[in-house]
Structure 1
Amino acid sequence: MTAGQALLVATLAFPALGAAGAAILPARADRAGRLVAVSGAALALVASVLLYGWRPAAPAGPARPGEIRPWHELNLRWASGLDLRFHIGVDGISYPLVVLTALLTLICGIYTLWTVPAVEVVSQEAQPRSTPPPCTRGRLLAALLLAIEVGIVGVFLSLDLVLFFVFFEVVLLPMYAVIAVWGGPARRHAARKFVLYTLSGSVLLLVGVFLVVTRAGTGDLVALSAAHGAGLSEGLQLAAFVLLALAFAVKSPLWPLHSWLPDAHTEAPTVGSVILAGVLLKMGTYGLLRIAVGVLPDAARRVAPVLGVLAVAAILVGGLVCLAQTELKRLIAYSSVGHMGFVLLGIATLNATGVQAALIGNIAHGIVTGLLFFLAGAIKDRAHTGELAQLGGLRDRMPRLAGLLGYAAIASLGLPGLAGFWGEAFAVIAALRHGGPLWTVLAVAAALGGALAAAYFLRLLRRVSHGPVGPAFAGGCPPLSAGELVSWAPLVLLTLAVGLIPALVLGLAHDPVMALVAR
């Protein structure tokens, strides 16, 4: 096994071992369990960073249309009777998402060292004797976060359709438990809604994968992408593409399949919201690009106008709904619908500018929205409410927190020089470059959606940071803790770094993107 292959395995093995180690420790060793989890997450981040440092020299000559050239690749026999293989690899498209997943999981693990959400119980009598008190469940929360990391990283590394589906499903139960156990008052309803929507998408994904694998005779993504859909009839390509696109639209989520997202974000604990918005949603857009577009290019061209219309509808609907929101986390959740609409618009253009916009939009959304949910959690922890009408005067009570909220908000609305700008601006430019009346109208409408983002974020800042002190802060509030500042610092710095140096993401993806769109 080469060093690169060992690092691929390590990015999956370290979080899995950290999760197992944290979970098996007894309740009295709760903090030690959280430290074990953080150690596993830290080692996974180191392994993911080293994947770039150990990458081989670029092969001679440009990649063939559709060709996937992994930096590192591991292809092992998995189930010989079914001709299934454990095939993983990483390239410039998947690598930034792998690092982002490892980073956000580590940050959330560090956050749990200081803050573990209480587990609400009705009464002591109603609580089983074997159930540990809330203060001893932090290690279980950290273990679940690492289990989610295994599933998400596995999705980004998978180069086999069946393996992709398996990792896609690994995320479901751990995220359900995070919401249902550590969430807010309506956590069980939100968790059930999350599961029902996700399972529906999984059924569609399974059928789409089955169609492609049985007709093509292989689930190998490298071979399928290089084949350009050869051996698959136009009707089968279209049917499979629609099934896969619907499955990924549920996970992203994209309008009109997004209604599970606001409830899940509102009720999830802070770390759950950060992982959910930061990287779990990216499984959908990554799958749409890597699998649906990469494997079924002819169907992608036929459906692209529909995807463009749905993307712009998500941008406009998300912005308008945000203007009507009165609760902090729900507003940020609905803003995700609009931002992911820009990612879908970039993919739908099927040109290099649009795909690059989608890739950097994914990363920027993960960084900025993750920071926004951390800040929203800090505000709700102190105010014990997320109602905007009660949160006025944050600038007077906590000027540093108000400043960070303003910084994250203007980054999310797309201020030039910060991470949110590139994905949104170049998705609009890509639509214009596509040409034609429809795409020109879509570009103009998407730009108006960007203006809506400015409107609802400025409204948010006016209500929360400015004006008279609201009832929630009338009695004062505790200062920011060391754990909060340590957890937020990497996201604050990355928001500026990606905004000023977009080549941190785009430089890695240039060659694979050009191969993808060359068809």
Structure 2
Amino acid sequence: MIFLEHYLLSLMMLVPMIGAAFVLIVRHQDKEIEKRNIRWVTLLATLFTFALSIVLWMGFDGSTADFQFVEKYNWVGDSISYHVGVDGISMLFVVLTAFLMPIVVLASWESIETRVKEYMIAFLLLETLMIGVFSALDIFLFYVFFEGGLIPMYLIIGVWGGLNRIYASFKFFLYTLLGSVLMLVAVFYMFIETGTTDIPALMNHHFDTDIQNLLWLAFFASFAVKMPMWPVHTWLPDAHVQAPTAGSVILAGVLLKMGGYGFLRFSLPMFPDATQHFAWLIFGLSIIAIIYTSLVALVQEDIKKLIAYSSVAHMGFVTIGIFVLNANGIEGAIFTMLSHGIVSGALFLCVGVIYDRLHTREISRYGGLSVNMKIYATIFVIFSMASVGLPGTSGFVGEFLVLNGSYTYNSWVAFFATTGVVLGAAYMLYLVRRLVFGELDKDDVKAMPDLSLREKIIFLPLIIVVFWMGIYPNSFLDPIHASVENLIETKFPVVAAEAVAEEATAATSH
């Protein structure tokens, strides 16, 4: 156990790479047996990584804001180091990544028949890089992981995607890479000024206010594209529509969270003055994203595009929660990201199920699935309700906390954010009505079989987590709380003091 404590994060990044090495050397004369062996090796590697993530969660001390499971070794000279660790803000994102990976491997079990070896290696390398992003405590190491994840995702979309996959993969790659060029310039400046790339050290360094504004904008360029925020969101619907099902799950479930995580890890603690200065910009863009992309989602005819636009609207909630700078808002934003990772990933898996049967994503081609696919229809309705934010599901808790936090900050921000809840219900219920209910009058739809055992196994853990997060949210909020409180008290003492004063006033008035 002591070995695990000291090397757990490195082991979690190493296991998928070892799995990829084994996949690389799998050989058999019978190609079908070779494919089956490759799938099993990949599944076992991702399950072992998930088991390690449970050890990480169980061994995590939620009462402190300090980084835990820390490892540090010199890497490039004395200044750049391999430095990893997790705190309350990052730990659950590592668990989310490890949780989704075995599910996407199972989802690809039968649908991917070409270049299975390369496909599984791409996902295993992507897992290593995603865990690296959430655990890196050196800003240069973070950048390597952050940008490195583009390559396997670019290949997953470009090789195994739909008809316009080349266009979508190039757009995804160029948008996200161009956004990050400014961040790289900012990283170099920070290193030259402070002489360190260590993230905890940079958090404690106070940059000049004017410089903070420029650095904040440089980081914002990268994280806004990754979220994605309006108006740099246009790569996302294209990428989702063309990506294979498993690619969409990881894109929505984990990669979109890197932008929100970046704001929490860099923008807020390193540039607190600039964060407060530019909060109006974030609120403006987020409110436009919530209202505009929800209206766009209402008129979509492609199921994947509808869910992709709903992701942009949900990420608008997240950015509002982060920048209201109070505990409810930030904890709600983190909870919403975790919930969205599960729910949106599950919705893309639902699309994948019917796409495998009918090979179309046109909403008008379906209807009446509740007649011949009862289990599927039930599962689809559950995740749709979670996306809407029905009480008792994971979607409700995050949205409630964000709206609570934003109302404390500014009632107008909360009012406009609330329109997203109403519009979200409109487009998801409209989708459910057209897809699941209505008349079953198409012969090919009538012939579609209900879920297989493998598909039921895929959805079961996702359903359990959605209700677990909705019914007992404290198991997810408790590890987050100390780190969020510490961030607000050390970086935004005026905001923290106002919150304490308001609580005292409320207590005396009662």
TM-score band w.r.t. shorter chain: over 0.9
Tell me, yes or no, if structure 1 residue 443 matches structure 2 residue 428.
Answer: no
Q: Is contact 2:219-2:267 (8 Å) kept?
A: yes
CA 462–56 in structure 1, closer or farther in 2 if over 3 Å, else same: closer
Q: Which amino acid aligns with 1:241?
A: W
Q: How does 1:469-480 map to 2 (within 5 A)?
A: 469=440, 471=442, 473-480=444-451
1:140 and 1:488 map into 2 onto residues whose CA distance is 25
Q: Is contact 1:391-1:472 (8 Å) kept?
A: no
Partner of residue 343, structure 1: 318
1:216 and 1:259 map into 2 onto residues whose CA distance is 36
Tell me, yes or no, if structure 1 residue 430 matches structure 2 residue 405.
Answer: yes
Q: Which amino acid aligns with 1:116?
A: S
1:313 and 1:240 map into 2 onto residues whose CA distance is 24
Residue 58 of structure 1 deviates from its aligned partner by: 5.1
Q: How does 1:33-432 map to 2 (within 5 A)?
A: 33-55=38-60, 69-80=66-77, 83-112=79-108, 114-118=109-113, 134=114, 137-227=115-205, 230=206, 232-432=207-407
Q: Is contact 2:154-2:172 (8 Å) kept?
A: yes
SS at match of 1:88: strand
CA deviations on 1:338-366 (whole Å, 9 max, x unpaired) are 00110000001011111001110010000
CA deviations on 1:222-272 (whole Å, 9 max, x unpaired) are 112233xx1x21111110101101101111111111000001111111111
Residue 402 of structure 1 deviates from its aligned partner by: 1.1
TM-score, normalization by structure 1: 0.91
1:360 and 1:203 map into 2 onto residues whose CA distance is 29
1:159 and 1:470 map into 2 onto residues whose CA distance is 57
Q: Which amino acid aligns with 2:369?
A: L
Q: Which amino acid aligns with 1:104?
A: L
Residue 308 of structure 1 deviates from its aligned partner by: 1.4
Q: Is contact 1:278-1:370 (8 Å) kept?
A: yes
CA 361–192 in structure 1, closer or farther in 2 if over 3 Å, else same: same
Q: Is contact 2:249-2:345 (8 Å) kept?
A: yes
Residue 20 of structure 1 deviates from its aligned partner by: 2.3
Structure 1: state its 5+ residue gaps. Answer: 60-67, 119-133
Q: Is contact 2:226-2:259 (8 Å) kept?
A: yes
Q: Is contact 2:62-2:480 (8 Å) kept?
A: no
Residue 184 of structure 1 deviates from its aligned partner by: 1.0
SS at match of 1:253: coil
2:443 and 2:285 map into 1 onto residues whose CA distance is 39
CA deviations on 1:152-184 (whole Å, 9 max, x unpaired) are 110000111101000001111100111111111
1:54 and 1:483 map into 2 onto residues whose CA distance is 32
Q: Is contact 2:119-2:156 (8 Å) kept?
A: yes
Q: Which amino acid aligns with 1:69?
A: D
CA deviations on 1:27-61 (whole Å, 9 max, x unpaired) are 732221221111111111111111233346956xx
2:54 and 2:354 map into 1 onto residues whose CA distance is 32
Q: Which amino acid aligns with 1:247?
A: S
Q: Which amino acid aligns with 1:172?
A: L
1:273 and 1:405 map into 2 onto residues whose CA distance is 17
Q: Which amino acid aligns with 1:50?
A: V
Q: Which amino acid aligns with 1:110?
A: L
Residue 111 of structure 1 deviates from its aligned partner by: 2.6
**Percent pairwise identity:** 39
Partner of residue 127, structure 1: none
1:23 and 1:248 map into 2 onto residues whose CA distance is 34
TM-score, normalization by structure 2: 0.92
Residue 475 of structure 1 deviates from its aligned partner by: 4.7
1:142 and 1:210 map into 2 onto residues whose CA distance is 35
CA deviations on 1:438-484 (whole Å, 9 max, x unpaired) are x3212101101110000001100111111112547445112312221
SS at match of 1:75: strand
1:57 and 1:180 map into 2 onto residues whose CA distance is 41
Q: Is contact 1:394-1:473 (8 Å) kept?
A: no
CA deviations on 1:266-304 (whole Å, 9 max, x unpaired) are 111111110110011111110111111121111111111
Partner of residue 498, structure 2: none
Residue 423 of structure 1 deviates from its aligned partner by: 1.6
Q: Which amino acid aligns with 2:117?
A: R
2:224 and 2:266 map into 1 onto residues whose CA distance is 13
Residues 439-448 or 358-367, more deviating: 439-448
Q: Which amino acid aligns with 2:374?
A: P
CA deviations on 1:98-144 (whole Å, 9 max, x unpaired) are 001001011112233x32335xxxxxxxxxxxxxxx2xx22321221
1:4 and 1:257 map into 2 onto residues whose CA distance is 40
Of the three residues 474, 495, 499, the one matched with 1:503 is 474
Of the three residues 453, 458, 462, the one matched with 2:433 is 462
2:443 and 2:238 map into 1 onto residues whose CA distance is 22
Q: Is contact 1:252-1:281 (8 Å) kept?
A: yes
Q: CA RMSD in A?
A: 1.6
* Aligned residues between the structures: 485
Partner of residue 12, structure 1: 13
Q: Which amino acid aligns with 2:301?
A: T
